[in-house]
Structure 1
């Protein structure tokens, strides 16, 4: 397979593995066993708390915020062309790769996948009173203002972080080149010794 080189050494490895499969299988068996031993029902208190969590996430406009975040990530990644010294002839290939990458993120970590785990998490850590107080805040003028301004705050935070990370990335890249050179020299030296033996 031909490797695409983008000015700077820019190689992306994406490994999709499922190390949690044995754990999920074990938890499934444990759940079945528990269901046979006890009357497995959700209490009214827990049901009420989960409803409150869902209302809180609605007031926070979480789904819209996640969509906005992915839009911003997509634009930020497409804007990396200059830093990565993408050639004009490579732009279409680069943009296709970046758009496919963010589409995978949307599919695997979209609202449909995140909603129930987030409800579980909030219901686990917050009491009904705490949830009620947060819902009241997000329904208030200040809370609504916070929700409306949050996408812009997130966007500017990402730009700020990207700018602050540039010197670090240059140093990391230099270190990576240095390590690759040292590793290559080490392997060549050891290969020569093995041949001599």
Structure 2
């Protein structure tokens, strides 16, 4: 009986391991199709630009430019070594596996590989920017009303405090 239980556990762990490998492969394929790798490359470029701007703001004298160049190279090397596809993919894949079923990831991969999916991905940065601007605009419109409601709330609280104090 113990041998049977051990064999069953061994088979179950092998099955689970194969299932996880399949899920990881499916998630990685989805990441490649949905443009995640390109997003990471653009993020890298933005980080490098931020670093370059920060270095410019240091206003280091021209005679120290060699030091700045040396550290810029080192920063780029560290960035390339530590923030890249191979270091970021595992946690992103884990997030996908923990969020989506393998079936959903396969369907999403098929969609993003399609012409319509590629069109959506192509325009996603513009849509994100447009959406952010729309939300900011609506929020700005809402702020005066929010401030008015906050003032009304404070007046109501003060009135209740005055009534409570008068009742004592």
Shift of the 125–136 alpha-carbon distance from structure 1 to 2, 3 Å rule, reads same
In structure 2, how many angstroms separate the alpha carbons of the residues matched to 1:78 and 1:87? 15
In structure 1, how many angstroms separate the alpha carbons of the residues matched to 2:120 and 2:56? 33
2:30 matches 1:56? yes
Partner of 1:71: 45
Shift of the 73–142 alpha-carbon distance from structure 1 to 2, 3 Å rule, reads farther
Deviations 1:33-84 (A, max 9, x none): xx9xx42324354343222212101102333332332133213311334422
In structure 2, how many angstroms separate the alpha carbons of the residues matched to 1:149 and 1:102? 29
Q: Which has the larger radius of gyration?
A: 2
- Once superposed, what is the RMSD of the aligned Cα atoms? 3.3
In structure 2, how many angstroms separate the alpha carbons of the residues matched to 1:86 and 1:114? 33
Displacement of 1:107 in angstroms is: 0.6
Match of 2:111 among 137, 143, 160: 137
Higher share in helix: 2
In structure 1, how many angstroms separate the alpha carbons of the residues matched to 2:60 and 2:123? 34
2:60 matches 1:90? no
Contact preservation (8 Å) 1:68, 1:151 = no
In structure 2, how many angstroms separate the alpha carbons of the residues matched to 1:153 and 1:71? 21
In structure 2, how many angstroms separate the alpha carbons of the residues matched to 1:84 and 1:146? 41
For normalisation by structure 1, the TM-score amounts to 0.48
* Unaligned residue ranges in structure 2 (runs of 5+): 1-5, 130-168
Which has the bigger relative contact order, CA under 8 A and spacing at least 6?
2
Shift of the 95–147 alpha-carbon distance from structure 1 to 2, 3 Å rule, reads farther
Number of aligned positions between the proteins: 120
* Unaligned residue ranges in structure 1 (runs of 5+): 1-34, 157-197
Partner of 2:85: 111
Deviations 1:143-169 (A, max 9, x none): 324544567899x9xxxxxxxxxxxxx
For normalisation by structure 2, the TM-score amounts to 0.54
